[in-house]
Structure 1
Amino acid sequence: MSGGHTTLTFLGGTETVTGSKFLLEHEGTRVLVDCGLFQGERRWRRQNWEAPDLDPAGLAHVMLTHCHLDHCGYLPALVRQGYDGPIWMSEGTQALTEIVLRDSALLQERDAEDARRDGYSRHDPPLPLYTVADAEQAIRQFRTLRFDDDAELAGDVGVRLTRAGHVLGSASVSVRMGGAEALFSGDLGRPSHPLLRPRAVPPAAATVVVESTYGDRAHQEPEGQSHEALADVVRRTVGRGGSVLIPAFAVDRTELVLLVLSELMRDGRIPKVPVFVDSPMALAALDVYRMPEMRSELRDGVVPELVHLPHLEAARTPEESMRLNNPRTPCVIISASGMATGGRVVHHLRHLLPDRRNAVVLTGYQAAGTRGRALIDGAHEIKMHGRYLPVRAEIVQDEEFSVHADADELMQWLRSLPEAPETLYVVHGEPEASEALAQRVRDELDWTVVVPRRGERVRVG
C-alpha cells in the first residue's frame, strides 16, 4: 500500500464502542479523524496507556466529529506526545470540548492522587494519563470550521462538516486526500432531536465509515405519555421518602434531563421537589447551549433559557456536592458521568445505593464494563474505590433520552447518501451490534460492507 494510494487505518472505535481514532495517509500527509479515550472494560481502558500506533509529531491535522470523551478524550495525551498541529472542529464542538477536556484532565489528576493516598493502585506512584496543562495546550491548538463549507487545508487536504444531529456541534466529517474521499459519520443523532436542528445529508464518498452503537436494536416508542418510566419512579421514590439519582452526561444529556423534568413538573406528573445539578461541567455546558452564537444550532421554538424548574439548584463546590450524599428531603440529583464511571456521581452512588428508599435512573446507552451496565444488568454489589457496596436502591432505565440513531435510523441515513459507497466500514459498536448492522446493509442494500479489526489498514478510493 505504498506509492500514491490513500490509506485508512482503524486505530480505535473497532470491536468496541469507544476509543474512536481513524488515520488517513497519502504520500506522507497524515490526518487523524477523532482522538477518543477507550472506556468501559479494563482491557479497553488499558489501551489508553499503550504506546500509540502512530507518530503524533508526524500528523498534519486532527479532526473531531464531536465533544464526547470517546471521540476527543485522548487529545491531551496526543499533544503531550508531540502533536503541535491544528485540531479542527465546529464552533459548538470547540466550546464543549474545552469543557470536556478540562474536566477530564482534572479527574485524571484527582483519581491519581486518590489512588496514591488510599493505596488502591498497582502503580507507585500512580500517574494521570495527562494533566490540566496538557489539556490547556490541546485547547490552544483548536481551530473551527463552518458547517457545509468546503475547506482546503495545508497538505492538499480538503474537509467538509455536515450536521450529525447528535449533540451540539456534532458533525459527520468528509475528508479529501490524493483524489480520494472518505466520509466519517461520527455519532449520528435521531432524525428529530428535542433541542437541535436535524442531521443533514453529507456528500457522497467512495469510502464511508459509519457508527453502530445501536446497530442491533430499535428504540422503543413510548406507550402513552412520554418519559413515564422517569415520572413513575420519581413519584414512587418521593412517596417513600427517598431521592432519585440520575447519572447523566454533562454535555447534552443533562440539558435534556432538565428539559424533561421541567415539562413533567409543569404538567403535574411529578411533585415539585428540589432538583440539584451536581456537575460544574454540566452547568458550564448549559451556559454554552444558552450562548447567542449557538442559536443557529437549536431548533426553532427552543427558548433561550431551556429549562423552567421552580427549585433548581447548582452544587458548584465539593462541599455543596458532599451535602447531597445525605439529602435531608426527597430530591432529584443529576450528576456526571452518564455511565457512572467517574466524577461526582460515584460518591453519590456510594451513599445512596445501599438505601432501599432511593432510586437510580440511567438515561441512555451503558457500555459493557461500566457501572451503569452492571446496574442495568441487575448487579447486587458494585465495586467502588476498592470496596464492594450493596445495591438496594431501585434501578430504572429511561431509554427515551437516547439521541443515538437506532438501527432503522442508521439505515435511513445510509439510504440518504447521494451515491452508494464502494465500501462501507461499520465501527464504534460492540461486536454483535456492528455485525448486525453490517448484515442488514448487505441484505437490504447489497453493498460491500466490512467490520474492520483494530489496526487494520485499507485503501481509500
Structure 2
Amino acid sequence: MKVKFIGGAGTVTGSKTLIESNGIRILIDCGQFQGIKSLRELNWEPLPILPSTIDFVLLTHGHMDHCGWLPRLVDQGFKGKIYCTSPTKDIAKLILLDSAKIQEEEAFKANKEHYSKHEIAEPLYDIKQAEAVFPLFRVIKTNEKIPLDAEISAVFTNAGHIIGACSITLVLENKTLVFSGDIGRDNDILMYPPTKPKKGNYIFLESTYGNRLHPETDAKAELEMYINNTVEKGGTIIIPSFAVERAQTIMYLLWQLKTEDKIPNIPYIIDTPMGIRVLDIFENNRKWHKLSEQEYVGMCKMFTMNADYEETIETIYNPEPKVVIAASGMITGGRVLSYLERYIGLPETTVIIIGYQAEGTRGRKLLEGAKEIKFYGKYYEVKATILEIEGLSAHGDQQDLLNWLSELENIPNAFGTQKVFLVHGENEAFEELSHKINEKYGFDCVIPQMNQEFEL
C-alpha cells in the first residue's frame, strides 16, 4: 500500500492525498490551491497520475481547498464515485458553481480591460465543467461502514469544522488509516465537537493552527466594541467571511448583540449569494448544528440579504453606517472586492478579519499591515482600520488538535509504532505540533513534502 501527497503537504491549501492498494486508487479530498502565485499555478498542472485511474474520491468537507479541483479532475478523465455527506454535497455544489462563475467573470473582465499577463485569460474551469461533477456524488450516512471494495471500507465521522464536515477512517490491508479533514473546535458556537478516533495505525492530521492557541477573548464583545466605535465615526464595517459556517456564526453573534440592544439599529447586510443559500442547508440539516428554529428565524429576519449584484451596488453607494458580511473570507475574490474598492481608502471604515488567512492572500497582507492592496489590476491605498477577531476560526487550535488524538488506542504498525502524518499547515505549525504530539503521546510524526510517496 502506498500514500502519495499531491496537495495539502507543506501548505494549507490544495488538499489531495492518494492511497493505492491492490490496484484500487482512492483520493482523499480534491482541493484547489489558494494563496501565493506559485501555489495557484499548481492548479493548472496535471496530476502526477491519470485521473481516469482513480476509483474513488472521499470528500471530508465542502471548502474550496478540499473540493475545488474536482471539475479539473472530472474534465481530465475521472469517472469514479465521490462519497460525502449530504450537507457536503450541497455545499460543494454551491462552492464549485460560485467558483466557476467568479472565474468566468474575472477572465471576461481581464480580457475586456487587458490587465491579464496572458494573451487570452481563461477560467480554471467554467460552469459547465463544474456541473459535470454533480452526477458523480454519492451521499453517505455518518458512522456507517461503506464498502468501497471487497477488502476496503470507509467510515465518516463528525469533524465539527463546518456543517457536514467529517473525518474519514479507511480500513484496508488489515490497517486503519484516519484522515482528520479539518478539525473543528471543541467549543464552537454553532458546530458540535469533533468525534475522536479510537483506532488508527496511520493518522493524517491537519495542522492549520498547530503552533497557535486561540485567545481566551470574547469574540462577541470584540464585535460589539468594533461596531460601536466605527458607527460613532460614521463609518461602515466590512467583514470578509467564508460563505460557509463563518458567515452564519457572525450572523448569529450579531443577532444576539442586537437582541440585547448592544449594537445600533443600522442596516445589517449579508452580501454573499452562496452564504444566503447555505442558510437553507442549515435549515435542512438541523442535526448538524446547535441553532434552534427560533434562533434561525430571528437571525435571518435581522439581515438584508443581497442576492443580485444591483443590490450590492445600491448598498455600496449608500453612505450611511452599516455592517456588511461579504465573501470571500481570505479576500481572494467575490463581492467583498467591490466593497473594498470603494471603502478601503476611507479612514472611517473598519475591516474585520476572521478565520485563517493563507500565505499570499489579500487577507494575510492586510493583517500584516499592507499600505496598499491590489485587485482588478489596480492598487488601492489602505486607509481603513484593519482588525482581527481570532476567536472565530472554524479550525481547532493546537490544544484541540492534541485533544482529538487523546482517545487513540496504541496499535503498532509496520514501523513499530503509530505514525502521524502532518498535513494542511505551514512549516512552523508542523514543527511545533510534531514536537507536542511526540512529547504527549510518543507518536512518531512525519512531515511529508509535496508529491512525496510512502509505502505503508
Contact kept, 8 Å, 2:194 with 2:404, in 1: the verdict is: no
**Structure 1 partner of 2:324:** 333
Report the secondary structure of 2:373's partner residue.
strand
Residue of 287, 299, 302 corresponding to 1:296: 287
Q: Which letter does structure 2 place at the counterpart of 1:284?
A: R
**Structure 2 partner of 1:3:** none
Structure 2 matches for 1:261-300, cutoff 5 A?
261-291=254-284, 294-299=285-290
**Structure 1 partner of 2:125:** 130
Change (3 A) 1:310 1:164: closer
Verify: 1:168 aligned to 2:163, yes or no: yes
**Structure 1 partner of 2:205:** 210
Verify: 1:146 aligned to 2:141, yes or no: yes
1:259 to partner: Cα distance: 0.2
Verify: 1:315 aligned to 2:311, yes or no: no
Deviation by residue 1:293-343 (Cα, 9 ceiling, x = unmatched): x12212375646254366521111111112222223111011000011100
Residue of 427, 430, 443 corresponding to 1:447: 443
Change (3 A) 1:269 1:309: farther
CA–CA distance in structure 2, aligned partners of residues 396 and 307 of structure 1? 28
Q: Which letter does structure 2 place at the counterpart of 1:18?
A: T
Bigger CA drift: 147-156 or 391-400?
147-156
CA–CA distance in structure 1, aligned partners of residues 40 and 430 of structure 2? 20
CA–CA distance in structure 1, aligned partners of residues 443 and 200 of structure 2? 13
CA–CA distance in structure 1, aligned partners of residues 101 and 49 of structure 2? 26
**Structure 2 partner of 1:361:** 352
Report the secondary structure of 1:135's partner residue.
helix
Verify: 1:109 aligned to 2:100, yes or no: no
Report the secondary structure of 2:316's partner residue.
coil
CA–CA distance in structure 1, aligned partners of residues 447 and 223 of structure 2? 36
CA–CA distance in structure 2, aligned partners of residues 365 and 167 of structure 1? 14
CA–CA distance in structure 1, aligned partners of residues 167 and 297 of structure 2? 26
Residue of 315, 339, 342 corresponding to 1:348: 339
Report the secondary structure of 2:39's partner residue.
helix
**Structure 1 partner of 2:65:** 70
**Structure 2 partner of 1:236:** 229
Bigger CA drift: 323-332 or 297-306?
297-306
Bigger CA drift: 339-348 or 153-162?
153-162
Report the secondary structure of 1:201's partner residue.
coil
**Structure 2 partner of 1:379:** 370
Report the secondary structure of 2:133's partner residue.
helix
1:15 to partner: Cα distance: 0.9
Q: Normalising to structure 2: TM-score of the pair? A: 0.96
Bigger CA drift: 301-310 or 46-55?
301-310
Q: What 5-or-longer segments of structure 1 have no aligned partner?
A: 1-5
CA–CA distance in structure 1, aligned partners of residues 455 and 293 of structure 2? 44
Change (3 A) 1:410 1:302: farther
Residue of 241, 251, 263 corresponding to 1:258: 251
Contact kept, 8 Å, 1:20 with 1:37, in 2: the verdict is: yes
CA–CA distance in structure 1, aligned partners of residues 332 and 235 of structure 2? 23
Contact kept, 8 Å, 1:18 with 1:38, in 2: the verdict is: yes
**How many pairs are equivalent?**
451
1:122 to partner: Cα distance: 1.7
Residue of 20, 23, 33 corresponding to 2:15: 20
Q: What percentage of aligned pairs have identical amino acids?
A: 36
Contact kept, 8 Å, 1:151 with 1:159, in 2: the verdict is: yes
1:449 to partner: Cα distance: 0.7
Q: Which letter does structure 2 place at the counterpart of 1:121?
A: S
RMSD: 1.5
Deviation by residue 1:378-436 (Cα, 9 ceiling, x = unmatched): 11111112211110011110112112110011001111223366210001001111111
Q: Which letter does structure 2 place at the counterpart of 1:336?
A: A
Residue of 431, 438, 449 corresponding to 1:435: 431
Report the secondary structure of 1:305's partner residue.
helix
Q: Which letter does structure 1 place at the counterpart of 2:267?
A: P
Contact kept, 8 Å, 1:273 with 1:311, in 2: the verdict is: no
Q: Which letter does structure 1 place at the counterpart of 2:114?
A: G
Report the secondary structure of 1:192's partner residue.
coil
Change (3 A) 1:40 1:265: same
Report the secondary structure of 1:367's partner residue.
coil
Contact kept, 8 Å, 1:63 with 1:89, in 2: the verdict is: yes
Change (3 A) 1:227 1:176: same
CA–CA distance in structure 2, aligned partners of residues 344 and 175 of structure 1? 39
1:195 to partner: Cα distance: 1.8
CA–CA distance in structure 1, aligned partners of residues 236 and 297 of structure 2? 24
Verify: 1:409 aligned to 2:400, yes or no: yes
Change (3 A) 1:207 1:303: farther
Residue of 418, 421, 434 corresponding to 1:425: 421
Contact kept, 8 Å, 1:258 with 1:307, in 2: the verdict is: no
Contact kept, 8 Å, 1:259 with 1:307, in 2: the verdict is: no
**Structure 1 partner of 2:188:** 193
CA–CA distance in structure 2, aligned partners of residues 82 and 92 of structure 1? 26
Q: Which letter does structure 2 place at the counterpart of 1:315?
A: N
